[in-house]
Structure 1
Amino acid sequence: MSIGIGDRIRALREFRDITQDELARRSGVSVDTIRKLEQGVRESARINTLRNLARALDVQLERLVGQTTVTRQLTGHGGLLALRDAIQDPGSLPGVLGDANLEDPPGPDEWAQQVQAATAAYWAGEYSALASTLPTLLRDGRATAREHDTEGVWTHLALAYQLAAS
């Protein structure tokens, strides 16, 4: 048995310790709509209604509608954990091999093309593919910046971190 959107709304609302009336006030969605969703009378709503409810409940829309944000593509060599590790730079920890041991980092032009491809993936909404490539992109970017200390390389590295933050 799967959990419906109304059940998720109710659970999140109760977790936030707010009433249906308070949720309606915060979201701008009628209390009648909220009540019907929670009771299962309605099984869906317009996307704007769902966005407003998600915002009022302080959750991502994906969580409210029950879509997972982690896919199979995110469990291989890339993914959210690898992205977290790349951002945190575990190479700075004692006993962990860092980016300095990377053999033959890409040149500035090749790395800039990789950043441009990642940016294109972001704007195309290809977030799973992007999340799987970002850890390597960040590692390569730090190594490229060590080898080629130029403004262009640092600009692209900043953009890569901005993509990771987004």
Structure 2
Amino acid sequence: MTYAGMKVKDARKRTGLTQRQLAEHSGVSLSTIRKLEQGERSGARMETMHALARALRLPTMSLVTEPDEEGARAETRELWEPVRAELMRPPSREIDAPATPSGVSEVLATTVPLYRNHRFSELASMLPTLLRDADTLPDEGRSVRVRVLQLAASALTHTRQFDLAEIVVRRALAEGQDRMSAAASVNTLAWLLLRQGRLDEALSLATQWADDMEPRLSRASTAELATWGLLLLRASGAAARNNQAGVAADMLRLARSAATAIGHEVDAEHQNVRTFGPTSVRMLSVEDALIKDRPDVALRLAENMPRYSVRPTRSVRSRHGLDVANAHARLGQFTEAFGKLTEVQAGSPEWFLNQTSAQHTLQTIIDGRRTLTPEMRHMADTLRLER
């Protein structure tokens, strides 16, 4: 029996539930529970474990040890191998012509749009040289080097290269010269931990830093409010996934107060590509409703999305699109769900390939339909769903 199966069986027995009763309370199929407890399945999706934990009144992480996200595809790792080699290269003692902070900043400015627009193949080709140049910067260029490392860590996380991403973001955190820059690295690290399913670590890290960074609302700058709000959103997301609904609600309430104090969506300073404001908070509320298994509420919240001149990044908007697709699929609205998946894929084709949420939503559509369209079959092949 696997660890997850053993924990589910033990918790079910201690609560006095039969397998059938657990299936009824959780919404997880009886067949899945039986296979999990009998060791016929090595594990289950985080969404499944979350539903079981909710029914058993336990934190999700008490049932889970392994990350819920698998690593990068072989072709992705091959594409990013030069980046990996540069990041793991021993520091050079002899530098013929060190780069300048202004020069590296100029190149960084040309790579950020590649990240923003999910053009990861092009970004992977530019990062090795950018990283090497940043590594040669003197002490006065440390802040520029940190921003380069933060960008690399975010891109590696997007492409599910979690081991290397953690090395890089911790390097950026160690080199940070001020609290705002360090908080940006912490935000990325908490996101990385969350994607790996390391919910306890993500929650602890984000909560600690949010407490340390809490400003006085009446005197705080926009940058301080945005930094604090982003950490609160990370903490809320981790708590919600770990079945700590009260903590998640408190964090979301505080984030909403920060967004209200700002009054509109803003680019967050020191954060490279993140924004914060009422729209970001509303999008997290949609995600929170889905975690609570309220797809109807999620869709209602998605209909009244605040709009400002500054919009959340493509990553946040695409993730929100997947949440909307997921909500439609859970309600049996398969045409609408697939339409939204298609829209997200068209806007971010490289990013889309690395999203397990897209796989899960498409699987729900496939399970709920008697026949599939050619487009659905093609997307299933693209996402490599098991036949």
Structure 1 length normalisation: TM-score? 0.49
Greater RCO, CA 8 A, separation 6+: 1
Structure 2 length normalisation: TM-score? 0.25
